[in-house]
Homo-oligomer: A and B are copies of this chain.
Amino acid sequence: MATGKIVTFGEVIMRLSPPGCNKMRQSHELEFFFGGTEMNVGASLAQLGLPVQHISNVSDDFVGESAIACMKGYGIDTAHINKVNHPLGLYFMETGSGMRASRITYNRLHGAFANITPDMVNWEEVLEGCTLLHWTGISPAISEGAYQTLKQGLQEALKKGITITADPAYRSNLWQYGRSGHEVLAELVGLSTVFIGGVNEINEILGTSFTKDEEGFMAAAKKIMADCPNITKVFDKIRTGITASHQKIFGQLWDGKQLYKTPEIEMTQIVDRIGTGDAYAAGLIYAMQTGMDDVDSLVFANAACAVKHTIHGDVNLATVAEITEVAQGNLDGRLKR
């Protein structure tokens, strides 16, 4: 078992959604969860038993206090969460069903995390004892300050030889503060050592047009490793959607030499689609930090992602035992007394 701590950096965001698959108009109340893509990864890892510290800003009010209490409840070290005089970012979601898609609308661009600046994070202190740093493409898309803060962290981590996992999803409706998302992401992937993503992400970042088949994936992976020589592995997952409630996923990996693929898992009656990519990343990081080999890590990550679809909220609360069960192919959900 790795004993070093894992550091995650990113927005803590509040999700608000009407119960069930009601439209907002049909409700007088909203369920809420605290999440955020990197915090979801951290929470899942803390749940699985690893030491995790999350770096972020929250609002200096009872909403921010609740967010901190929530993170503490997951077991996350919150000592480096700043309280600032800006509201916590949030989003509303109407959960779809069947052929009706879920809809999300954000309120985050002037929030607590958007106002983070490099002087608010003492990276040297934070990365003390850290063995892995995780980031995603959401953070640098929020604001110049978030971008600069993240970049300093990556540079410091790279210098210290820390593993850096990058999940550089490109979200076009962010990136409103003036920089090109493609360029920034390419720069930051250049400062990372493990790439979590596939053809879509690589095409976005590099402006390439690889095809989405096996050949395309291998070519794209080779290209990103060529352009960003710190990257040593590319972990991807492929989702096929039948309806909002019925989907299939499998994982694939290019380790510089070979392609590996997991069996495909079919998920019917999906409970919650949010945070499933984060569950994949967390599964991967857990597996790598606890010494599994690449193929086992890929299978564990895919299983973690699949199980998350059965769990309400942003964070994967599945236990190691529950994920392992699925990783071993036991999908029949037999009652445990």
Which chain A residues have a beta carbon within 8 Å of chain B's beta carbons? Answer: 16, 19-33, 59, 61-63, 65-66, 69-70, 72-75, 87, 90, 92, 94, 96-107, 109-111, 171, 173, 241-246, 265, 267-271, 273, 306-307, 309-313, 317-318, 322, 325-326, 330-337
Contact = CB atoms under 8 A, between A and B. Distances in A.
B99 A326 contact: yes
B306 A97 contact: no
Given A96-B310, A99-B267, A311-B100, A24 B63 contact: yes
A267 B333 contact: no
A164 to B, nearest CB: 26
A69 B62 contact: no
A269 to B, nearest CB: 5
A307 B99 contact: yes
Given A28-B28, A332-B99, A335-B104, A245 B269 contact: yes
Nearest to A92: B63
Contacts of A325: 101
29 contacts: A16-B16, A23-B317, A24-B62, A24-B66, A26-B312, A27-B28, A28-B28, A28-B31, A61-B103, A62-B105, A69-B74, A96-B333, A96-B335, A98-B271, A98-B333, A99-B265, A99-B330, A100-B310, A101-B335, A102-B335, A102-B336, A104-B335, A110-B110, A171-B337, A241-B333, A243-B331, A244-B334, A245-B268, A245-B269
Contacts of A268: 98, 243, 245-246
Instruction: Sort A-B residue pairs by CB-CB distance and give the 7 closest, nearest first.
Output: A244-B333, A73-B73, A87-B107, A61-B105, A241-B332, A100-B310, A110-B110
